[in-house]
Amino acid sequence: MAPPAPVTSPQADPPAAPGPAPAPLPTIRRRLAALVYESVLLFGVVFIAGYLFATLTQQRNGLTHHNVLTVWIALVVGAYFVWCWTRGGQTLPMKTWRLRLVAAHTGQPPTVMRALARYLAAWLWFLPPLALHPLAHSPVPATLAATAAWFILWAAAARLDPARQFPHDRLAGTRIVAAERR
């Protein structure tokens, strides 16, 4: 005689299907190397954006419209990052170093608003110490030293994070994961 089948109530949740394994986390060194490569690539993006601005506004002096130029370059760089991150989660340097940006809870490429939040939060790498220059009337070498120290502290903060994510990723609800080889 066979044992009776276990009785399950219709209200019980079915067992959870195993989901995809979480993507492996890249090292902090690898992410910082991609950041260096990104800065080299951004030099070209900023150069072209500045050239376009100077041509269209007939700018003859670097101080003419310099505040508008600053906003223009911030918008161009922001558009570059948001466009790349929302279309596959990778910029060219991220592809080279096999990194991918995903939304922290879904694992999918971030939405436009989440990518924009990450771009704005990433300015925390630089803005706090740079704000000291005009506020404290500090000399340029002291400002550069404060910026370097802040940069190192911001990068070191990822060592304290359980998922090894930088603070701006935590703030934006995103994470960097290792991308698969193609």
Determine the pLDDT at residue 23.
66
Question: What's the pLDDT score for residue 16?
Answer: 46
Question: Position 149: which residue type?
Answer: A
Q: Where are the domains of the chain?
A: 28-178
Specify whether the CB–CB gap between 163 and 102 falls below 8 A: no
**Looking at residue 22, what is its pLDDT?**
61
DSSP 61: S
Token pair for 142: 């002291």
Q: 90 — phi, psi (to 5°)?
A: -140, 140
Residue length of the chain: 182
What are the CA-CA distances from residue 74 to residues 12, 50, 69, 70 (Å)? Answer: 53, 11, 9, 6
For residue 24, give both structure tokens. 């492996």
How confident is the prediction along the chain (182 residues), in pLDDT tens digits per residue? 555 555 554 444 444 445 455 667 888 889 889 999 999 999 999 999 999 999 999 888 777 788 899 899 999 999 999 999 999 899 999 999 999 999 998 989 999 999 999 999 999 888 887 777 777 677 778 778 888 888 888 888 888 888 888 899 999 999 999 988 76
**Could you give the residue ranges of the DSSP H alpha helices within the chain?**
28-57, 66-86, 92-96, 112-122, 127-136, 140-160, 167-172
AA letter at 78: G
**Crossing angle for the helix pair 28-57 and 140-160, to the nearest 10 degrees:** 140
- Please tell me the predicted confidence (pLDDT) of residue 143: 78
